[in-house]
Structure 1
Amino acid sequence: MIGILFVVFAGICVTLGEYELSDYASHPCMRECGDGAPPMTCVYNFTVEYYYVLTKACYDCPYNITDCYRPHCVAADGVGRGIITTNRMLPGPAIQVCQNDMVVVNVHNKMEGSEGTTIHWHGVFQKGYQHHDGVSMVTQCPITAHSKFQYRFKAGNRGTHFWHGHAGVQRSDGLFGALIIREPPSRDPSSHLYDHDLPEHTMIVHDWLVELTINRFAGHHHAGYDNKPASMLINGRGAFHEFPTSDTNETIYTPYSVFNVRKDQKYRFRVISNGILNCPIQVSVDHHDIIMIATDGVPHHPVVVSSFNIFAGERYDFILDADKAVDNYWIRSRGMADCAVKSAKQLAILRYENATETEPSGPSDYESGRRGGKLLNPWNKKGSPELTPVSWLNTTLADPLHMKQVPDKKFYTAMDFYTIDNYVFHHKDFYPLAAVNMDKRLYLPQMNHISNSQPPSPPLSQFADIPKDSFCGPHNTRNCSQEFCECIHIIKVDLDDTVEMVLIDEGVAFNANHPIHLHGHHFRVVAMDRVNESTSLEEIKQMDADGQIERNLETPIAKDTVTVPDGGYTVIRFHADNPGFWLMHCHIDFHVSIGMGLIVQVGELNQMPRPPKHFPRCGNWEYTGEEEEEEPRCPVSGAGLNEESLWLPALWCIFVVVYSHFYI
């Protein structure tokens, strides 16, 4: 009898443990948001696994183009390479909900490499749900291989956001997707400017490597190999790898993404950058100017432009007026900085209703994406009549609380690539920086000459488990401009402080940029400028003391990700009203992975939210002896079990007790 009970129970576990690989294209929460409508609970099941481009699921793609759209087929840009997918999709399933909905995501880690993972909900403040921010070793332990974790949070702040892996470089290999939080049109200040806000007009752009990112990461940092992307993707698709045909001598490619519109209608497009490396992206639509209306989920006064730049982690919403002739038009993404080395670009198609299903007639080369006219968000250039920095945008939100003249806390944070012999990539005795070839030297991206190290336990839930000497302090940051400094880099502010941060890119080593993302808050961009090809912390401090940095404290735009001009500064203000430990970091994957970030502690430990019941724990361990033998215990319910499923561990408990009584 007990054996039969065990088999039945095991069968139930297998059934419940396997998630359907759904694309959620018709999820009930994907709806029009109405005034007074009750919020919904929106449940998604995510299965994360290693996968590959053009698997057997793709049959004869791209020779039979319809095969490229089969379930589980990831065509990407045609380059065969390992990837990480959610539900065997690239990008992963889009989450499209209404403001104040409850989002529940059950993540099942099935990566055979046995690596942990977490999912960050980029742009969502997580007020009241701090433990669900999804930052490995800051707000939670990694979801270990073959285990599940349930994220549960309120979609509290509206706008265009996205979700992505936040452990290692997993988002660079495909672990990402859109997260759109809509609001009723009556609360959208731009709703009168467009006719349609459709889920299919969400666009994710990013640079793309031709191999697993960890291969490129290790080769670049340890051996000086190339880290320059050669390709890009738009919504996981694009043309890059050539496929010759023997019968016609033609070259074919994997398909482009297509966005459909109807003539004389106005459409809201939502653009997300999952940028991987130092690769700002210029976005434009042939023969169409566009109206920019929001960034990082926050509306601003409309600005008409010919193109805009988007940096890693940023989002921009624009309105496209389909007032041109019925035809096909190129949507262009052109990579700059590191992407310019190999002319990385990608195209998508804007297709008017009743146009032929063919490619646009215009050129498709890299230089054709260099659009003239007015541009929003220039890369490392001063503002001008044709170049509009985001600091010139005026928000439609009133938020005077943290716009006081003198902030409660003020920090200067300088960043650059520094010539430091760090013991991870340059051994000072065996292969110091000065002894290797110039092309193999690694210049270290740091904030205030410090590399942030990952805590051994999440400070939000296990602060007491972290060795105190691992935090940055006088004992390990005495001479960081000359010696490698690595520690848990925390800056502390009080709850409800008005905080100002002057972010400085000294710009000595390279003409690069660092898009900085703050978790748990948005901030006001009150000033931004490029001073010269390079600058210094001391120069910016002196300029500030002399009153040469003019701040907009009246209507500054609110964002959560912003670039810092190389050889210049960006000044941000935020209201520290969300207690917790919040990561602030460069959103270039290679930079944050080696410590270009810090943690903002908002509030005292006794003001932090308590972790959910049975929240997973992790950390350092060493052998101290064996435990005393105990009676068999009933297991506690794991992460992700709800009240309705508590009968499962109860049934297991009965089995364990009965079995141990008769057979042990």
Structure 2
Amino acid sequence: MAIECRMWRIFAIPLVLFHLIQVATSDCDYSKCVDLHVDFYHQPIVDAELVQCCANLKDLCDKTRCPLKPVACKEEFHEVAVKKGVCCDEYMCAPPKDRCIVRINGRAVLKNLGDTWDSDDPCTKHICDYGMDGKAQEKTYKEYCYHTCNNEYQLKLIPGQCCGQCVQTRCKFNDTLYSVGETWKSEDRCVLYECTKKDDTVAVATYSKQCPKLPTCNKRDIYIKDCCQYCNPRHSMRHSNNKSLDTDDEDYNSYEKHPCKRPCTEGSQPMVCRYKFIIEWYETLSKACFNCPFNATDCFRPHCITGDGSRRSVLVVNRKMPGPAIDVCQGDTIVVDVENNLLGETTTIHWNGLHQRRTPYMDGVPLISQCPISQEQTFRYTFYADNAGTHFWHSHTGVQRGDGALGPLIVRCPPSEDVHYKLYDYDKAEHLMILQDWTTLTGISMFNAHHHSSGDNKPKNILINGRGRFLNAPVTKMVVEDDSEMDLAASSSMVDPTSIPMTTTTDSATETTTYTTEATSRTTTESIPETTQRATTDATTTTETQTVSSGIYVDPKDDFGFMHDNNDPTMKTLPHAQERHTYVRNKRETPVDAYTTYLNESQHIPFQVYYVVHDKKFRFRLINAEFLNCPMEMSIDNHTLLVIASDGSEIEPIEIDTLVSYAGERFDFIVHANQKPGNYWIRVKGLMDCDQRFTSAHQVAILRYFGADEKDPKDPPKYDHVRGGRQLNALNRGMEDRTTISIAEMTNAYRDPDNGVLQKEPDFKFYVYYDFYAKNNTNFHVGGLYGFNEVLLNSQRRYTPQLNHISMKLPTFPLMPARHMIDDNQFCNSSTLANRGINCRTEFCECSHVLQVPLNAIVELVLIDEGFTFDANHPFHLHGSSFHVIGMERLAGNVSAEIVQELDRSGKLYRRLKGAPLKDTVTIPDGGYTIIRFRADNPGYWLFHCHIEFHAEIGMSLVFKIGEHDEMLPVPVNFPTCSDYTPEISDSTRSSSIHQTTASILLLIISIFLLRCFP
């Protein structure tokens, strides 16, 4: 109706005006007329008249033409408003004047005056109020926060609140701030404090030291250590100069309380961390072990190395195996003085995982970065903890790593720089898992027997943190007769080795009584089967022990026993950390032979135990330190592993059931203790040379829930135990296997940290292939005497592992510090040898194998395991840099290098560039390939080698020369040098010697003459 009325007016006015113009006379002066302004709504026009030649509109109201009032408005909550006119009223839909129409969550809502409401932004408030026009309208107000939190508090946003509140995140104690999980001790070391968090409440928990019961003791023999009284009449061992030798733990160079072992916080000052490493030959189950393994607490004494119970020589640092841990913060400076106490041997230490970018002469590779450290010499390694992660140090000379010269090197970063920090609750030093393959012979004995005779190279056992049992031993009952009783203190720091009371033993054969300061006893065996060569029985000893526990309550994140003062139900006894008195019936047997002793003692070696708290998440760090070909499969019964890092580089988390690791690899994983509290096996199974075809080497440790009974899991550990599910880094499998996850399928946590390396094409590409070859390697096969095909027994033939048919021969001087002595002609590779007409496929080639690349070049290696001779496996390690793993595949049981190169030329080798993980050690599937990339930005000479010691020592390696000599860092001042000394003996030298002799004779004659003439 309103529309029709408007249309009528629009057309009516022009018609009226046209009519007036027609009737107007021609003498009208239109310029004097007033412009007509028409209100179409209020003045309906029905007629007009002329007034003095000018048109004048005349209002004549016809209400029949006015619009009707609408019944309702289409818009929600709107009302019909009326605007009065002279003739007709105007109607419109408008919001109510005293209420607001607002939209909340997409819907229209009617609010009364004074109503308030919130929005998605808790800092923005809404209110229905009058506006400037007197109508109700929605108004918004912004809330501003002015909170200031104290140092131990942090502002925490709370859902639905704008300003949040100050929440305590750290503990303040004596004006010092501590992070959650951080512990500290009182000045008298009698009380341990911990900053704890429970139910979002941060508080300081107190643990009081509970001392063992003091036996009857003379007052003069009582001494105080860590606020507890102990009895030891010979606590101070005295030298001939009458100076006391303190027996404190720190003097053993264990560094368990090193000041650099601290929480790493953002903005903290870096420290200089000093260590003293004394490397020497030592012995398992030495006199330092007292009655270990039959008294388990003795096995944890300082300098007691158990191994698996076999009595053999070991080559260790500070009489520990594994050696002392270096645990520092990123940015610290590490200073290690290595003192060589070996008899007639040299040594070096390599810091596996640290790339030595600013200190290339500290890499620890003999005749590449330094001269070997001679006997009685000390070499100071000084380098920086640049890259955080799980690393390890080990001897890089001969096969010394296999004899025990190794230890952990952990570099921690602040929580703000740990991309996985929120995934776990605890990252404790005791959750470290170092795996070793183990033999009853020393490494050099095995090496010589294997290469020069018929000896094998198969590890017999596996150790976890330096200990384990020989689980494949047959069991035979042993009867123990109780001859005496003695009181042994469990803590290694509590009792001096010379203070054990006298005990009496009776030998049944002689019926005589002997007195000794070492615990001994008589044993007899039953049902010992005879063999043609030696007894193979296990002497399982029946023991009677009475343990008097101190009843101490222990914090699950500390290493020693303290009483927990809080009423916290999760804080129960941690048996491994308790100090106790154990009354042990003497049980050291008189063995039938050494092997029977080994079997008997091995069954009493205490397993490694890892303690966890129910429903908490713990970060574990695994280091595979094996030295032979024994890849290891690890799993935890009823638990999965969340892998978050490898070789010190973070990856996107992968949840798996079993993890395979190879020599030199490290993995960080999280264990969620979400099962029924109890004891669970941690299983480690050896593969390759350790599998069921050879030795079935395997080992176990225990995952023990806090508060669970101190006992082994029910089912006995067996090699053939099968754990299904997802497996990471499976043996000889690559990206082609969809049932497992290969290293190349992991994703870097930082996605593409260096897009330049992961460009489509590298600057240099090298094909490095290898296998075992039947050649007369003159190191152990001399043609014409005992050549490869001339020896009598097949077991005496030794195939030679080579890279591109070349065996590495190190120079006689260290390449990096003595580079001025280098003649490039002494280097070789497949191209230079081919140019000289040498066919290394048929000849045995041994030389300094070097690949040269310019500084900052992008290098790609296609590593090929041809796999024709054995079904084997080789992990490779690069010094001086990490690399991206961009491809891995097993093509067949064996494959030639030529086929792989042809597949690559035709674009059939798959490369996964985006998110490729970073590693410094990687395996290559047998009959397949692995592709790695790195940027050559660390100038120097860097070793690339198989991490199986027997292979590396006979030449399965090469050297990268990165950059030119003038681009390498200067040699440190007074850096030691070494080289051959072979001066030539010339005719002039002989003539000079004759003249000197003649002159001496003449001088002697003259002297005699003068003496006679002038007495």
Q: TM-score, normalising length from structure 2?
A: 0.59
**How far apart are 1:224 and its partner, in Å?**
2.6
- Post-superposition Cα deviations, 1:617-657, rounded to whole Å, max 9, x if no partner, equal 0011123589x9xxxxxxxxxxxxxxxxxxxxxxxxxxxxx
Tell me, yes or no, if structure 1 residue 247 matches structure 2 residue 480.
Answer: yes
Tell me, yes or no, if structure 1 residue 365 matches structure 2 residue 725.
Answer: no
- Post-superposition Cα deviations, 1:431-453, rounded to whole Å, max 9, x if no partner, equal 11112222211110110000001
**How far apart are 1:132 and its partner, in Å?**
0.2
Report the equivalent of 1:352: 705
Report the AA paired with residue 728 of structure 2.
L
Q: For 1:162 and 1:195, how far apart are their aligned partners in 2?
A: 24
Distance 1:602 1:357, change over 3 A: same
Report the equivalent of 2:730: 378
Tell me, yes or no, if structure 1 residue 88 matches structure 2 residue 319.
Answer: yes
Residue 21 of structure 1 contacts residue 47 of structure 1 at CA under 8 Å; is this kept in 2? no
The structure 2 residue matched to 1:486, chosen from 833, 846, 852, is 846
Q: For 2:671 and 2:435, how far apart are their aligned partners in 1?
A: 18
Comparing 253-262 and 79-88, the one that deviates more = 253-262
Report the equivalent of 1:107: 338
**How far apart are 1:208 and its partner, in Å?**
0.7
Tell me, yes or no, if structure 1 residue 158 matches structure 2 residue 388.
Answer: yes
The structure 1 residue matched to 2:457, chosen from 211, 222, 227, is 227
Report the equivalent of 1:520: 880
Report the AA paired with residue 386 of structure 1.
T
The structure 1 residue matched to 2:917, chosen from 557, 568, 577, is 557
Report the equivalent of 1:497: 857
**How far apart are 1:401 and its partner, in Å?**
2.1
Q: For 1:305 and 1:210, how far apart are their aligned partners in 2?
A: 34
Tell me, yes or no, if structure 1 residue 38 matches structure 2 residue 269.
Answer: yes
The 5-angstrom pairing of residues 400-411 of structure 1 reads 400-411=755-766
Q: For 2:273 and 2:309, how far apart are their aligned partners in 1?
A: 34
Q: Secondary structure at the match of 2:402?
A: helix
Report the equivalent of 2:170: none
Aligned-residue sequence identity (percent) comes to 45
- Post-superposition Cα deviations, 1:192-247, rounded to whole Å, max 9, x if no partner, equal 11001111111110211111110000000111311111101000010118797432
Report the equivalent of 2:974: 614
The structure 1 residue matched to 2:805, chosen from 417, 429, 449, is 449
Comparing 358-367 and 226-235, the one that deviates more = 358-367
Q: Secondary structure at the match of 1:324?
A: coil
Q: Secondary structure at the match of 1:342?
A: coil
The structure 2 residue matched to 1:395, chosen from 738, 748, 753, is 748
Tell me, yes or no, if structure 1 residue 336 matches structure 2 residue 725.
Answer: no
Distance 1:22 1:245, change over 3 A: farther
With CA pairs under 8 Å and 6+ residues apart, which has the higher RCO, 1 or 2? 1
Q: For 2:335 and 2:605, how far apart are their aligned partners in 1?
A: 34
Residue 580 of structure 1 contacts residue 603 of structure 1 at CA under 8 Å; is this kept in 2? yes
Instruction: Note the aligned Cα RMSD (angstroms).
Output: 1.8
Tell me, yes or no, if structure 1 residue 572 matches structure 2 residue 932.
Answer: yes
**How far apart are 1:468 and its partner, in Å?**
5.2
- Post-superposition Cα deviations, 1:355-399, rounded to whole Å, max 9, x if no partner, equal 11111112311112x321100001012443430000000001222
Q: Secondary structure at the match of 2:894?
A: coil
Residue 31 of structure 1 contacts residue 97 of structure 1 at CA under 8 Å; is this kept in 2? yes
Report the AA paired with residue 377 of structure 1.
N
Residue 330 of structure 1 contacts residue 362 of structure 1 at CA under 8 Å; is this kept in 2? no
Residue 381 of structure 1 contacts residue 530 of structure 1 at CA under 8 Å; is this kept in 2? yes
The 5-angstrom pairing of residues 419-434 of structure 1 reads 419-434=774-789
Q: For 2:852 and 2:826, how far apart are their aligned partners in 1?
A: 16
Q: Secondary structure at the match of 1:540?
A: helix
Distance 1:441 1:403, change over 3 A: same
Q: TM-score, normalising length from structure 1?
A: 0.89
Q: For 1:200 and 1:410, how far apart are their aligned partners in 2?
A: 43
Residue 465 of structure 1 contacts residue 619 of structure 1 at CA under 8 Å; is this kept in 2? no
Report the AA paired with residue 923 of structure 2.
T
Tell me, yes or no, if structure 1 residue 269 matches structure 2 residue 500.
Answer: no
Report the AA paired with residue 490 of structure 1.
V
The structure 2 residue matched to 1:179, chosen from 403, 409, 415, is 409
Q: For 1:477 and 1:206, how far apart are their aligned partners in 2?
A: 44
The structure 2 residue matched to 1:215, chosen from 441, 445, 455, is 445
Counting matched residue pairs gives 609
Q: For 1:118 and 1:592, how far apart are their aligned partners in 2?
A: 15
- Post-superposition Cα deviations, 1:326-360, rounded to whole Å, max 9, x if no partner, equal 11111111000101111001111111111111111
Q: Secondary structure at the match of 2:952?
A: helix
Report the equivalent of 1:318: 669
Report the equivalent of 1:257: 608
Tell me, yes or no, if structure 1 residue 296 matches structure 2 residue 647.
Answer: yes
Q: For 1:77 and 1:476, how far apart are their aligned partners in 2?
A: 52
Report the AA paired with residue 381 of structure 1.
R
- Post-superposition Cα deviations, 1:142-169, rounded to whole Å, max 9, x if no partner, equal 1100010100000001111000000110
Q: Secondary structure at the match of 1:80?
A: coil
Report the AA paired with residue 627 of structure 2.
I
Q: Secondary structure at the match of 2:252?
A: coil
- Post-superposition Cα deviations, 1:250-292, rounded to whole Å, max 9, x if no partner, equal 3442111111111111000000001111111001011101101
Report the AA paired with residue 410 of structure 1.
K
Report the equivalent of 1:635: none
Q: Secondary structure at the match of 2:451?
A: helix
Comparing 26-35 and 49-58, the one that deviates more = 26-35
Residue 21 of structure 1 contacts residue 46 of structure 1 at CA under 8 Å; is this kept in 2? no
**How far apart are 1:404 and its partner, in Å?**
1.6
**How far apart are 1:551 and its partner, in Å?**
0.9
Moved over 6 A (4+): 241-244
Tell me, yes or no, if structure 1 residue 66 matches structure 2 residue 419.
Answer: no
**How far apart are 1:423 and its partner, in Å?**
1.0
The structure 1 residue matched to 2:372, chosen from 122, 142, 153, is 142
Q: Secondary structure at the match of 2:817?
A: helix
- Post-superposition Cα deviations, 1:20-66, rounded to whole Å, max 9, x if no partner, equal 43111111111111111111111111100000100000011111111
Q: For 2:837 and 2:881, how far apart are their aligned partners in 1?
A: 28
Report the AA paired with residue 299 of structure 1.
E
Comparing 250-259 and 119-128, the one that deviates more = 250-259
Report the AA paired with residue 356 of structure 1.
D
Q: Secondary structure at the match of 1:44?
A: strand
Report the AA paired with residue 636 of structure 2.
V
Q: Secondary structure at the match of 2:610?
A: strand
The structure 2 residue matched to 1:536, chosen from 896, 916, 937, is 896
Report the equivalent of 2:771: 416
The 5-angstrom pairing of residues 433-472 of structure 1 reads 433-436=788-791, 437-466=793-822, 469-472=825-828
Report the AA paired with residue 311 of structure 2.
G
Report the AA paired with residue 350 of structure 1.
L
Report the equivalent of 1:651: none
The 5-angstrom pairing of residues 191-206 of structure 1 reads 191-206=421-436
Larger radius of gyration: 2
Q: For 1:154 and 1:381, how far apart are their aligned partners in 2?
A: 36
Q: For 2:609 and 2:277, how far apart are their aligned partners in 1?
A: 25
The structure 2 residue matched to 1:28, chosen from 242, 245, 259, is 259
Comparing 525-534 and 239-248, the one that deviates more = 239-248
Report the equivalent of 2:306: 75
Distance 1:561 1:477, change over 3 A: farther
